[in-house]
């Protein structure tokens, strides 16, 4: 199959660039454009030729779900993955009702988006090959896809997402503070923080508290606004 062509719709320039970079790192996907407003997104969609939209919900000139409704009304069946900080149950349910295929909460680790887009690509490939389902269990998996985590060995996807959430909620965390919040050891917390830093998603700085002794390493989230 040719690469899936992806449009990123995100009004924050830092987050938009992060999402574009994430897409281009994935084999089988190519980001072909970035739109910062609902109006611009609809203009790009009207040209056709897209396979998938990574869509933020809160845009300066409209809501993401309104974009999807407008697309469908015009007969545009391009798939949509919501990439958003909107946590309201009503928003999640509304997205599902109008055919949003995945719902990813910000902030997130690269692995989170990778796993979901990989699962999406598998479904696209199966459909293109004309595969058929074997039983009800397979139907259920198609309707409610469960992603297989591909986070690095020794790290747990759920814990990694919790660390990302902490970094996104406040600027500047030490390994000790993350460990206390998660109920893990400092060494465990540091492994997750170092992984995010190595991936370019967290920034390492030095924290000086004015006391004698060595400064502490502090981690801040940089991939999302």
**Distance (Å) of CA 71 to CA 44, 74, 79, 95:** 11, 5, 10, 13
The predicted-structure confidence for 162-203, as pLDDT tens digits, reads as follows: 898 888 888 889 999 999 999 999 999 999 999 888 888 888
pLDDT > 70 fraction of the chain, expressed in percent and rounded = 92
pLDDT at residue 225 in the model: 42
The predicted-structure confidence for 89-118, as pLDDT tens digits, reads as follows: 898 999 999 989 999 988 888 888 888 898
Least confident range from 34-43, 87-96, 203-212: namely 203-212
Place of tokens 């998996």: 141
Least confident range from 51-55, 84-88, 156-160: namely 156-160
Instruction: Tell me which H or E stretch contains 33.
Output: strand 29-35
The Cα 128–Cα 140 span in angstroms is 19
pLDDT over 90 (residue 223) = no
Mean pLDDT in residue range 131-140: 78
3-state helix, strand, coil in the chain (%, to 5): 45, 20, 35
**Phi, psi at residue 36, to the nearest 5°?**
-100, -5
Cβ–Cβ < 8 Å for 51, 23:
no
Strand 29-35, strand 4-9: pairing:
parallel
Q: How much is the mean pLDDT over the chain?
A: 87
Nearest to 81 by CA among 58, 56, 61: 56
């Amino acid at each position: 199959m040719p690469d899936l062509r992806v449009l990123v719709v995100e009004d924050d320039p830092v987050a938009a660039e992060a999402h574009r970079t994430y897409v281009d790192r994935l084999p089988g996907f190519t980001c072909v454009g970035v739109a910062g407003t609902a109006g611009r997104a609809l203009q790009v969609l009207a040209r056709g030729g897209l396979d998938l939209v990574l869509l933020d919900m809160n845009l300066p000139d409209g809501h993401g779900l309104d974009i999807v409704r407008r697309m469908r009304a015009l007969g545009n069946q391009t798939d949509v993955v919501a990439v958003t900080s909107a946590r309201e149950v009503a928003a999640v349910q509304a997205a599902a009702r109008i055919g949003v295929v995945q719902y990813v909460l910000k902030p997130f680790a690269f692995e989170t988006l990778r796993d979901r887009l990989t699962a999406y690509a598998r479904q696209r490939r199966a459909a293109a090959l004309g595969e058929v389902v074997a039983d009800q269990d397979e139907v259920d998996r198609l309707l409610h896809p469960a992603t297989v985590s591909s986070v690095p060995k020794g790290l747990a996807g759920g814990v990694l997402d919790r660390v990302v959430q902490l970094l996104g909620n406040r600027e500047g965390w030490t390994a000790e503070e993350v460990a206390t919040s998660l109920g893990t050891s400092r060494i465990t917390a540091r492994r997750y923080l170092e992984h995010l830093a190595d991936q370019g998603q967290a920034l390492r700085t030095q924290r000086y508290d004015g006391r004698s002794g060595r400064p502490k390493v502090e981690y801040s989230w940089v991939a999302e606004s």
